[in-house]
């Protein structure tokens, strides 16, 4: 096997493994949608190290049984056009929830009414939301990410080292030498 053929073989194997991993992540991001769940891309680092920017969080609707320690999605009390994904740290006597991002030192300043809770985070799909995160936050992907994506693209695209061999006609419709 020549050096170039070896590189192509390795690149194709890496591309196949990457495609399989992406297909698996996509499966876990899309299948729950059929049950009424929804997915959101995490845009901030307030839940690191457990949930990172660019991760996709799949949320099951409902507020029944929410207890401290669980991660919920809710309408931001400071900005009703925005949703937050934070951990519940306490259930208050008035029925509201006290939340906190894992990366934050203290709890959020405003308790969350149950009416503002969209649901319970049930599944985290790492990295799948990175393209949406990059576009929204105007972030450039790292050189390593670009190299991996370019390798995958080059390995997946049809690549020929030589001219294709013409197929020989067979069967009843073969040209008659003449």
pLDDT for residue 160: 46
- pTM of the predicted protein model: 0.67
What tokens appear for 104 in the block? 């934050």
Tell me which architecture the domain covering 3-156 has in CATH.
Answer: Ribbon (2.10)
- State the pLDDT confidence band at 98, using cuts at 50, 70 and 90: very high
**Chain segment 62-73, per-residue pLDDT in tens:** 999 999 999 999
Q: Which residue has the higher pLDDT, 123 or 16?
A: 123
CB atoms within 10 A of CB 6: 10
Once rounded to an integer, what is the mean pLDDT over residues 34-52?
91
Is the pLDDT at 78 greater than 90? The verdict is no
- Asked if 129 and 85 count as a contact pair (C-beta separation under 8 A), the reply is no
Is the pLDDT at 93 greater than 90? The verdict is yes
**Chain segment 28-38, per-residue pLDDT in tens:** 777 777 888 99
**Chain segment 10-31, per-residue pLDDT in tens:** 878 887 887 887 787 777 777 7
Q: Provide CB contacts within 8 A for 70, sequence distance 6+.
A: 87, 88, 120, 121
CA-nearest of 51, 63, 69, 65 to 112 is: 63
Q: Which residue has the higher pLDDT, 29 or 112?
A: 112
């Amino acid at each position: 096997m020549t050096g170039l053929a070896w590189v192509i073989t390795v690149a194709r194997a890496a591309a196949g493994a990457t495609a399989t991993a992406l297909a698996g992540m996509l499966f876990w991001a899309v299948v729950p949608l059929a049950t009424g769940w929804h997915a959101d891309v995490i845009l901030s680092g307030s839940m690191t190290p457990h949930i990172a920017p660019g991760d996709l969080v799949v949320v099951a609707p409902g507020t029944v049984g929410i207890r401290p320690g669980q991660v919920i999605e809710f309408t931001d009390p400071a900005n009703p056009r925005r949703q937050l994904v934070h951990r519940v740290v306490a259930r208050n006597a008035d029925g509201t929830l006290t939340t906190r991002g894992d990366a934050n030192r203290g709890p959020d300043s405003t308790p969350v009414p149950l009416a503002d809770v969209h649901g319970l985070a049930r599944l985290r799909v790492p990295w799948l939301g990175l393209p949406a995160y990059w576009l929204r936050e105007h972030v450039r992907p790292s050189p390593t990410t670009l190299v991996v994506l370019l390798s995958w693209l080059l390995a997946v695209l049809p690549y020929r080292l030589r001219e294709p061999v013409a197929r020989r006609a067979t069967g009843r419709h073969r040209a008659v030498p003449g």
